[in-house]
Amino acid sequence: MAGAAEPDHIRYECRDRIATITFDRPQKLNAFDDAMVMRLAEVLHEFDVDPEADVAVLRGEGRAFCSGADVHQRQLRSDDELKKHGGPQGWGAHSGDLFTRAINWKPIITAPHGFAVGLGLAMVLESDIVVAEAGTKFQVTETSRGLSSARHWALLAYRGLRSFATEVSITGRFFTAEEGQAAGVIDRVAPPGQHLEEAYAMARAIAANPPLSVRATVRARRWYMDQAEREAYLQTLPLKLHLTEDFRESARAFAEKRKAGPFKGQ
When mean pLDDT is compared across 22-36, 89-103, 129-143, 205-219, the lowest value belongs to 89-103
Evaluate if residue 6 carries a pLDDT over 90.
no
Residue 199 falls inside a structural domain: no
The CATH number given to whatever domain includes residue 232 is 3.90.226.10
What pLDDT does residue 83 have?
Answer: 73
pLDDT value at residue 5: 45
pTM (2 d.p.): 0.89
Domain count, the chain: 1
With respect to residue 265, please indicate whether it lies within any of the assigned structural domains. no
pLDDT of residue 75: 62
| pLDDT per position as a tens digit, 99-134 | 999 999 999 999 999 999 999 999 999 999 999 999
pLDDT of residue 27: 94
- pLDDT of 88 > 90? The answer is no
Q: Is the model more confident about 119 or about 256? A: 119
**175 pLDDT above the threshold of 90:** yes
Is 44 buried (19+), middle (13-18) or exposed (0-12) by CB count in 10 A?
A: buried
Tell me which of 146 and 211 has the higher pLDDT.
211
CA atoms within 13 A on the CB side of 100: 18
Q: Is the pLDDT of residue 163 over 80?
A: yes
Q: Is residue 1 pLDDT above 50, yes or no?
A: no
The answer to the question of residue 112 being in a domain is yes
Residue type, 104: N
Least confident piece of the model among 71-75, 129-133, 234-238: 71-75
Helices (H) and strands (E) in the chain, counts: 10, 9
Q: Is residue 263 part of a domain?
A: no
CA distance to 28, 31, 135, per residue, from 72 (Å):
11, 10, 28
Q: How many CB atoms are closer than 10 A to CB 259?
A: 7
Q: Which domain holds residue 137?
A: 7-192+208-256
In a domain, 202, yes or no: no
Mean pLDDT of the chain: 91
Q: How confident is the model at residue 77 (pLDDT cuts 50, 70, 90)?
A: low
Mean pLDDT of 56-62: 98
Is residue 102 a part of any domain in this protein? yes
Task: Summarize the confidence of residues 181-190 as an average pLDDT.
Answer: 98
What one-character-per-residue DSSP string does 52-72 give? T-SEEEEEESTT-SB--B-HH
**244 belongs to a structural domain:** yes
Average pLDDT of span 62-83? 78
Within a domain: residue 48? yes
